[in-house]
Amino acid sequence: AAIIEFKNVNKYYGKLHALKNINLSIEEGQVVSIIGPSGSGKSTLIRTMNGLEKINSGQLIVTGYDIADKKTDLNKIRKNVGMVFQHFNLYENHTVLENITLAPKIVLHRDNEENHQIAMDLLKKVGLADKADYYPRQLSGGQKQRVAIARSLAMKPKAILFDEPTSALDPEMIQDVLNVMKLVADEGLTMVVVTHEMGFAREVGNRVIFFDGGEVIEDEKPDVFFDNP
């Protein structure tokens, strides 16, 4: 079933036509890599998927909610659809553990003991169990991004959106983050990933969208996409 569905979606920044009549359906469990030149609208596309950017026309349904309907509570969508940003966006004044437990506590009212247990399990999964009491400033970029992924997973989302998750990282840290993303993909979570990492697009993702000029230019399985020069 479709978890994210665009029908004739348009987005403008003033006169700039950033998304041009997008028709796109993302199915449950797909790992979609969105690639394309800088300024082509990839970030805009992904940010519309949890309401960080408004659309100007068309219809966008995310986990059953119509995102342009004023009656839709965007928090419900954001509960279902997590986001991992290029620059991590961690809470700097909270520890790593608190970064992960905060939203489940406030939004989901998760019991403290269970919340702590889930967070610690996730920190183990991303290889940072020993950093639970650190503050973000004490971590490398790669470690911060792995905390951000754990934070997203703690909400038990139906999908996670990644906006250039490795673009701000030193090269030696990129692989650690990609390995965690592969773990998440292997568990069957729906992922939409704006990325320049062709290895990820080819080997982890199962769908590649080439975006340019505000439009989907190609939409293929990785083996087809990468065999066509």
* CB 64, min distance to ligand ADP, A: 25
- Under the binding rule (CB under 6 A), the answer on residue 43 touching ligand ADP is yes
* CB 216, min distance to ligand ADP, A: 13
Choose the binding region for ligand ADP from 36-44, 57-65, 199-207, 218-226 (rule: CB under 6 A). Answer: 36-44
Task: Give the residue with the Cβ less far from ligand ADP, 51 or 104.
Answer: 51
Task: Give the residue with the Cβ less far from ligand ADP, 143 or 195.
Answer: 195
Report the DSSP beta bridge partners of residue 59.
Answer: 7
Look up residue 1 and give its two tokens.
């079933």
Considering only residues 64 to 93 of the shown chain, the ones binding ligand ADP according to CB under 6 A are 86
* CB 37, min distance to ligand ADP, A: 7
- Which residues of this chain interact with ligand ADP, rule CB under 6 A? 13, 16, 18, 38-44, 86, 164
